[in-house]
Amino acid sequence: MQAPELIAIVSIFITVIIGVTSWFISAHLTRRSIRTQKLTYEIQIFPIISREFLKNTTSELRITYKDELLPEPTLLAVDIINTGNCSIENPPITIEAVGATYVIPGYIEDIPPGYEYLWELERTDAEECTIHLAHINPGQVVKARFFLDEFPKEKPLFKCPMKDLVIREVTTELKEVTVNSRINPIDISLTFRLPWKK
């Protein structure tokens, strides 16, 4: 093989490599420039007190939160993640219990500094609460916590009817969720009578 032939083959090879690399870079940049709004959510339900204990207890145990009786106190944990590539403003998120289970707004865990008044929970009905988010940036996580008056027979519904928004539910292994220490202790009340005391 002579030098001109070798130079021609190397030139063709380099041109092909540059063309393929340019295509991959432009495809990647195009994909990133397309605005995608995606929310991923996970719903988990945790009994606060053992259901067996509540069934078998001989004492009169009364648990209330904000003057609302919780016969089977249950924590509803809703984690919402913006998995898209752009900020989502004012998504109309509601959590609705199926049946006669009451949903009571609790708190939002780990609120980023400055978001205290931008992310809020509001009760809109006995069985429904709204999660108000002024905006949620890509990668941000909202950890909304609610109390239920009973352990629900069906998982509560996550609703967010918004144009061009993709919603996906995920489930992960059981994780630890604790009752936030920032809850006003006056809001939670435990009352019980021991069987040996009159």
User: pLDDT tens digits, residue range 108-150?
Assistant: 999 999 999 999 999 999 899 999 999 999 999 999 999 999 8
Nearest alpha-carbon partner for 42 in 80, 69, 5: 80
pLDDT tens across 12-54, in order? 888 888 888 888 887 777 666 678 899 999 999 998 887 777 7
Residue range 56-64: mean pLDDT, rounded: 71
Select the more confidently predicted residue: 196 or 164.
164
Which range of 4-8, 48-52, 137-141, 190-194 scores highest in mean pLDDT? It is 137-141
Residue range 65-80: mean pLDDT, rounded: 88
Three-state SS for 139?
coil
Which residues fall within 8 angstroms of residue 69, CB to CB, at 6 or more apart?
62, 63, 149
Select the more confidently predicted residue: 107 or 8.
107
CA–CA dist 29, 63 (Å, integer): 55
Three-state SS for 119?
strand
**Mean predicted lDDT score pLDDT of the chain:** 82
CA–CA dist 38, 138 (Å, integer): 9
CA geometry: angle 21, 23, 25, nearest 5 deg: 70
- What DSSP element (H or E) covers 21? helix 3-33
Find the radius of gyration of the CA atoms of the chain: 26
Predicted TM-score of the model (pTM):
0.72
Q: For strands 165-169 and 37-47, give the pairing.
A: parallel
